[in-house]
Structures are given as structure tokens and as C-alpha cells.
Amino acid sequence: MLFLFLCHRKEIVRERAGFVRALEGLGHRCEIYPDDFPVDGDVDQLVKALPESPALVIWPDAPIPSLPSGLENVSAPTVSFEIDTPCGLDKREYWSRLVDYPCLFTPGMRDAFARKHSGATDLWFCVDGAPQYAAAAAERPFEIGWVGSIEPKLYPMRARVIPELAKHFKMNDWRKFHNPQQMMEAYQQSKIVVNLPRADVQYANLRYFEAMASGALLLTWAPSDLEQMGYQEGVHYIAYRNESEIIPLVRKYLADDAARIRIADAGQRETLEKHTYQVRAKSLVELAAKPSGGRPARQMSPVEISRLYVHFYCKRGYFDAALRRWSILRKQSRAAAIAALPIILRSFLGRIVATLLR
């Protein structure tokens, strides 16, 4: 099978890279954009240039996202990766109308998403199952591993807790930036990984799985949507319900090697057996075998579709692409084009501000 990822080579990182490796490992072929393909390029021309028709077209929530024109008309089944599903949920629900199957990376969102898109399906966060991860062990250089931002506005709990933990426990260099490889190295040298959520959204993100795969004991916030994915508190991970519980729990499990290793080992085995890209890629193969008639855009008028494209380009800061699609909208409906002017103007002002701040 051929899988078409709607992004450039430089966007094949993290989750997208994991899926490409897993699909190719299953014997499938993955294609991406040509280097010069624009953010609003014609997807039909892209598909025609492929050596064979794609079995599945994937709109992969790239770091520099694009939206090719005509996605709603692709004959193959289409999916979107909704990687940080709770972040910008309303926009995600709106834009996903162009595809058959929005793939949600966090549990607990499917019912809400499915009320607006019946094709919503789970494709949870996971890790690469191929590397040899360090086994849970009594002796590791660091008592606590930490990787991530502690910017106070977005992560107020982290800004309070991480410096306090550093006073009491031996930690890796938590102030420096870690690339993905360095992060896993830090985790695999740590006995415990403490997870501290964002202030605005709390969900089982990629770090949960990376921590458990590393053989460290995951200490995270509860209630957790990990339970919806088959993990059990006290069996695969440990949870705190109040900030004041964190340090006592860390002390408890540092003092009890047997309990810490037992839980860390169970979390690692559960993750590497059930939550890998190799497992998730098989779900994409199954979606490729399904029909392509479920996208809500098939029931939308040309004007509604153009308004959606204008909205996406404006929200993502692509003023030129927004203006090109707005010109199409103006020909379709003068009234709709006038109604879309405020968001176009905000996009233009945003572009001016960004230019002045460079």
C-alpha cells in the first residue's frame, strides 16, 4: 500500500516519523510533498504524480501545517492526525470535516468529537517499539528525571515544583533543552519521572508513554485518562492528587526499590506490548480498507468549504493562501466574502506585526 503524508520532509518528526517508520516496517510505501509544494497546493495534481493511487491520505498535523486545496474531493480514504486533540478542539472539529477519519491521540475526547464527526477514531499516543530500552533497575544515576518547559504562565505547577524537587533529589540537568534522543537517555537514567500537567489542559500526552517505555516509574496527576487506555494506577504508574503529595510519594518509592521496580516494569511491558507505532500503524492499514464516504465536507456547499479553507489559512497565519481562497469565495458568494473580511483583516494585521517583530 502507498500512504501519502500531506507535509514536507522536514515535518516528518516525532509522531509522524514514528508512523512512517512503522508503516515502512510493515512493507508499505510512504510519500510526502515535493520540496516546492505550497501550503495550498492542488492535492489532485499531487496524487496524479504518484506512482500509484494512495491507499490512505494522511493530513498529519505537521509542525508547519498546510492544507492542500481539494482535500475534500480525494477519492482515497482520508485521515487527520489530531495530535494534541484538546488544544484548539473547536478548530480541529471544524477543519476535520474535510477528512473521513479524524484520528484522536488522547482518550476521553472521542464522544465530544464524534458529535460533530461520526468518523472520529482513536489513535492514541505511543512510542517506538524497536529500540532496546533500559530495564527498570534499582541503580540509576538520577533519582528524578525531568525534561520540559517550566514557563510559569503555561506551567505554573512546574515552575513551583521542579526547583523544589531539585533541592531534595538528584536530577538530570532540568534547565537545558533536550532533543528526543537526549530526553530518552535522561529518562532511562532516572528512577522516577514526575509528570506535571499544563494549567489549561490535562491529558495523557506523549511524555507519559516515553517515561514508562524508559523503565522509569511514572508519577503523574490523577485522575488520568491512562485508565481509559488499559493502564492501572498502582500497577503501571503512581498518581498524586495534590501537589503536596509529590515529594512524599517520591521519597516512598525511592526507599522501596522492589515496589518501584515492579510498577515501572509493569508500565514498561504494557507500553511496549500495546502502545507502539508498530501497533498503531496496523490501525491505519485497517482505515485504508474502509470506504471514503464519511467526510462531512461531502454535504457542505462550495461556499461553506471555501470559508473553511479561509478560516484555516487565517488561523495558521498564511495570509497569501487565505487571500487566494478568499478570491474564490468572492466569486462564489459576495455576501460570504464580505462576512469573511474580519478574519482576513486580522490575518493581515498579524502578518504586519510579525514582520515588525523580526
Which residues in the chain belong to E strands, given as ranges? Answer: 2-5, 29-31, 56-59, 78-82, 101-104, 121-122, 142-145, 190-194, 217-221, 238-240
Based on the fold, state whether residues 150 and 269 are members of the same structural domain.
yes
Cell 493581515, residue located: 348
- Asked if 102 and 202 sit in the same domain, the reply is no
> Which residue in 102, 66, 148 sits closest to 321, CA to CA?
66
Residue 357: predicted pLDDT: 65
- Do the beta carbons of residue 114 and residue 120 sit within 8 Å? yes
Q: How confident is the model at residue 205 (pLDDT cuts 50, 70, 90)?
A: confident
Does 132 fall in a domain? no
Name the residue with cell 477519519: 101
Statement to judge: residues 44 and 160 lie in one domain: no
Q: What CATH code is carried by the domain that includes residue 261?
A: 3.40.50.2000
The continuous run of DSSP H or E covering 273 comes out as helix 257-274
Question: What integer pLDDT is reported at residue 294 of this predicted model?
Answer: 84
pLDDT(146) > 90: yes
Domain containing 95 — which CATH number? 3.40.50
Global pTM reads: 0.92
In the predicted model, is pLDDT for residue 334 greater than 70? yes
Percent of the chain predicted with pLDDT > 90: 81
Classified as helix, coil or strand, 190 is strand
Q: Is 80 exposed, middle or buried (0-12, 13-18, 19+ CB in 10 A)?
A: buried
Whether residues 95 and 160 fall in one domain: no
Parallel, antiparallel or unpaired: strands 78-82 and 217-221: unpaired
Q: Between the ranges 48-57, 191-200, 285-294, where is the mean pLDDT highest? A: 48-57
> Is 137 within a domain?
no
Q: Which residue has the cell 537526549?
A: 182
Pair 230, 342 in one domain = no
Confidence band, pLDDT 50/70/90 cuts, at residue 242: very high
- In 279-291, which positions are buried (b, 16+ CB within 10 angstroms) versus exposed (e)? ebbebbeebbeee
Task: Verify that 214 and 285 share a domain, yes or no.
Answer: no
**Mean pLDDT of all residues in the chain?**
93
Q: Quick one: pLDDT at residue 201? A: 66
The CA distances from residue 112 to 85, 119, 250, 320, in Å, are 11, 12, 36, 33
Per residue in 54-85, pLDDT tens? 999 999 999 999 999 999 999 999 999 999 88
Number of folded domains that form the chain: 3
Asked if residue 288 lies in contact with residue 56, where contact means CB atoms within 8 angstroms, the answer is yes
Residue 77 and residue 118 in one domain = yes
User: pLDDT band at 86, cuts 50/70/90?
Assistant: confident
pLDDT at 186: 96
Strand partners, 193: 145, 218
Give the structural domain span for 10: 2-126+281-295
On whether both 119 and 7 belong to a single domain, the answer is yes
What angle separates helix 277-288 from helix 14-25, to the nearest 10 degrees?
Answer: 70
Q: Mark which of 240, 275, 310 sits at the end of a domain.
A: 275
pLDDT of residue 114: 84
**112: burial class by Cβ within 10 Å (0-12, 13-18, 19+)?**
middle
pLDDT range class, residue 291, cuts 50, 70, 90: confident
What gap in Å lies between CA 7 and CA 81, rounded to an integer?
12
For residues 247 and 321, membership in a common domain is answered with no
Contact 264, 217 (CB under 8 A): yes
Euclidean distance between CA atoms 1 and 55, whole angstroms: 6
> What average pLDDT does the segment 301-305 reach?
98
**Is residue 199's pLDDT more than 70?**
no
Residue 136 within a domain? no
Q: What would the grid cell of residue 338 be?
A: 464580505
Instruction: Please give the biggest Cα pair distance in the chain.
Output: 71
Average pLDDT of the residues in 265-273: 97
For residue 110, pLDDT over 90 is answered with no
Span between the terminal Cα atoms of the chain, in Å = 44
33 and 151 fall within a common domain: no
Mean of the pLDDT values across residues 83-95? 88
